[in-house]
Amino acid sequence: MSGAVYRLSARVVGVEAAEAVLALLDAAAQAVAAFETPGREWRLDAYGEGRRLTPALAAQLALAAIANGGELLDLGEEKLARRDWLAENQQAFPPLRIGRFFVRGSHCPAAVPPGAIGIVLDAATAFGTGEHPSTRGCLAALEEIARRRRIRRPLDIGTGTGILAIAAAKLLRRPVLAGDIDQGAVSLARYNAAHNGVAGLVRVKPAKGYRTPPLPARAYDLVLANILARPLALMARDLARVLAPGGRAVLSGLLRGQERIVLAPHLRLGLALERRFVIDGWSTLVLRAGCRPSCGAVGN
């Protein structure tokens, strides 16, 4: 960000209300963050160049909170002191050991521990450098699935920085198709794949979910989708269409209280909950294809 940076902050009551407000802020800003506070309250921050808070946006946010059973308690915007936010974020990003994965920024010279899989990523505007609980949950789920199954055709929806596609390519040694609706994320993911030595395995394309361009039916035995609860729920039918019989889907980017929003449409389509990972209040769900709609779902 080269211009003046502003932070738009909101206090919201209710998980579903916070998710709805966060989705609106995400569409209006370059970066967003969510923090749970006591009393079912959430603090949501949105960052971007120039002012974004208008009476129309304020009304949209308040209505979204009310429509989702919550309330917008406070809303404000402030200009932040000029700083090199990207450089500071990179310096604050220490190496992370997540199962077999060792994720570090290029500024960090730490050697990859023996037996670990190294991934080099720098903090950027696209989502996914390993610190967020949803990304950590996806990496943990990916490693567990790979221990039990041989994966042939992985797919990464909403790839962001490409961290999950890169991790899958390095762990599975299989070609990975990755897509993102944002062209900046597509370019960044391609760069990161090349920088991590897996450009030959990771193919990144501009994509709007599963449909643009359309993906073949029942073709992928592993689908990774770390986005948000409502888009996951809305794309349930598309996921069920492309997931091969017996395949697994790893869904994340949702809070613990939003699981039912995501699970309900998938269970109706015959997918079963096989496992959940909960880290700091954020859930990662592992779903299995091939179960009849009447099957029960279990998790731990």
Sort 56 into a burial class: Cβ within 10 Å, 0-12 / 13-18 / 19+. Answer: exposed
Same domain, 132 and 64: no
| Residue 192: other Cβ atoms inside 10 A | 28
One-letter amino acid of 12: V
Q: Domains in the chain: how many in total?
A: 2
Same domain, 274 and 196: yes
**203 in any annotated domain:** yes
**Tens of pLDDT along the chain (300 residues)?**
456 889 999 999 998 898 899 889 988 887 787 887 777 889 999 888 889 899 999 999 999 999 999 999 999 999 987 655 555 555 556 788 999 999 988 777 778 999 999 999 876 544 555 678 899 999 999 999 999 999 999 999 999 899 999 999 999 999 999 999 888 889 999 999 999 999 999 999 999 889 888 899 999 999 999 998 889 999 999 999 999 999 999 999 988 888 999 999 999 999 999 999 999 889 999 999 985 443 433 344
| Residue 168: other Cβ atoms inside 10 A | 29
**296 in any annotated domain:** no
CA distance readout (Å), 195 to 112, 182, 285? 15, 20, 29
CA distance readout (Å), 93 to 102, 108, 113, 124? 13, 9, 18, 11
Same domain, 71 and 128: no
* Residue position matching structure tokens 């998938």: 266
Record the pTM: 0.75
Same domain, 77 and 103: no
Same domain, 155 and 128: yes
Greatest Cα-to-Cα distance within the chain, rounded to the nearest angstrom: 57
**295 in any annotated domain:** no
Same domain, 185 and 45: no
E strands in 116-195: 117-120, 154-157, 176-180
Output the CA torsion 144→150→152→156 (10° steps): 0
Sort 156 into a burial class: Cβ within 10 Å, 0-12 / 13-18 / 19+. Answer: buried
Domain containing 124 equals: 93-288
Residue 77 sits in a domain of what CATH number?
A: 3.30.70.260
Closest CA to 286 of 179, 117, 168, 143: 143
Closest CA to 243 of 216, 264, 265: 216
Same domain, 156 and 175: yes
Closest CA to 134 of 299, 287, 276: 276
Same domain, 228 and 264: yes
Residue 192 sits in a domain of what CATH number?
A: 3.40.50.150
Same domain, 60 and 177: no
